[in-house]
A and B are shown apart, each in its own frame.
Chain A
């Protein structure tokens, strides 16, 4: 089996999930310059809600795809409600406060959501019912499964849909205008609060689907899964250039690939001193390298202000 191609496939799969989550960070940052640290927990809630729905429906004998779709369809509105609630309750009141205040509020929200998940879904690892049988396909000495194909296809479809909204509709134009200059957007008749709320709703819907995808991919979920995933997706957003949508997509996929290749080869390069369990390190090495050598990210133009 060709390790390189195999890790590339695994990396692109995971990377496309990172990309979908990274889009949520970057959209919110683009519009209100806030790093929504609770975004990873929105992904977590999406995974958990889908888990509950799938577990409940699994014995019903429905087609597996329909069960997963049902789980997703419940997770999306729940996550959207949470995303909207976060903006209304935790960020909007602090819109004109010093920048540190909403950031702290975001960290607080992430802790609250995490512990809410702990209360509802327990502190144990929970196993996603494996209702979709994994079918391997062989390509070039490596294997790609139907689940991986579904994850990549879903991510691509969501990114394309988002790009259509942002770059081809009036709503999207208003979102970009608001990101550039809120006051002037207001002078055009744009209700800024509405645009910001819509941004949070879209980011949360993407997060919900991402949650279902990671849950199905790893087959397990845990109440702390949001923080590491969130940090990685945030690193991906920074890698691509925070605030830049194509950057988040590129950064996500790149990060997934770096991580997978790193995990695949770290043993060889360190004489097995380090194993693939160190794979999480790569995301943060990338984050640090970007912050040091190219703080604007790969596609970004402006550097976040230091305050």
Chain B
């Protein structure tokens, strides 16, 4: 079943068309990646899905219902959650308070506590630092907190915007491991990444975005083998 279905999505900033008619779909249970160079329009696409940026045209359907134009805060209650580019940690709230915010839409206190323990088990560093403010964490810890916080809402569809951005290689590997782990637990994921290789290795399908349009869409394995992708995004020269 299609959990997310986008057709003809357009995003404009003033006169600039940053997203020019994008079609994209994510089935329930899938891990799909959207790759492309800086400025291709990936973040704009994600922001338009959750209503942080207005869609100038096109339709966005989630669980079969049109959601274009609905505000982000309403969608969270329906399980559509985004981890924004740059993580969006509340710098002056503690780690624990950031997690409380993640569970803002929930009322089941006992289950929330259990989930928090699960997050702390997944990211022991967060438990060690639960009383520290978010701004004092390292980039990797902040990314873990951002993902953990999103999980606290029990998402159905998780949109991740460049979770590996700015992290050291070891941490990048760790983050991808966690993303796969979350996906294997049944959370549907749309992953935006500039690290095309790792994203395609983790995902089952992928979309390639260039200057506001989808130029390729295929199984992740086929994209990994595609010479155009290899040359443009995997830094290989194909002879």
Contact = CB atoms under 8 A, between A and B. Distances in A.
Contacts of B11: none
Given A183-B52, A186-B72, A192-B73, A170 B88 contact: no
Interface in B58-78: 71-73, 76-77
B234 interface: no
A170 B104 contact: yes
Contacts of A180: 90-93
Contacts of A181: 88, 90
A177 interface: yes
A176 B92 contact: yes
B127 interface: no
A61 interface: no
Contact of A187 (B76, B92, B93, B97): B76
Q: Is the interface of A mostly helix, strand, loop or mixed?
A: helix
Interface residues of B, number: 23
Contact of A190 (B73, B82, B88): B73
Contacts of A183: 52, 72, 84, 88
Contacts of B82: 187
A177 B73 contact: no
Contacts of B172: none
Contact of A170 (B73, B76, B91, B100): B100
Interface in A162-195: 170, 173-174, 176-177, 180-181, 183-192
Interface in B100-118: 100-102, 104-105
Contacts of A174: 101, 104
A173 B93 CA distance: 8
Given A170-B100, A173-B101, A177-B101, A187 B50 contact: yes
B91 to A, nearest CB: 7
A132 B88 CA distance: 53
Contacts of A187: 50, 52, 72-73, 76, 81-82, 84, 88
B153 interface: yes
Most B-side CB within 10 Å, residue of A176, A180, A186, A188: A188
B93 A188 contact: no
A190 B72 CA distance: 9
24 contacts: A173-B97, A174-B104, A176-B90, A177-B93, A177-B97, A177-B101, A180-B93, A181-B88, A183-B52, A183-B84, A185-B101, A186-B72, A187-B52, A187-B72, A187-B73, A187-B81, A187-B88, A188-B101, A188-B105, A189-B73, A189-B76, A189-B104, A189-B153, A192-B73
Closest 6 CB pairs of A and B: A189-B76, A189-B105, A184-B88, A186-B72, A188-B101, A186-B73
Given A183-B52, A184-B90, A189-B153, 13 more contacts: A170-B100, A176-B92, A181-B88, A181-B90, A183-B84, A184-B84, A186-B52, A187-B72, A188-B73, A188-B105, A188-B149, A189-B73, A189-B77
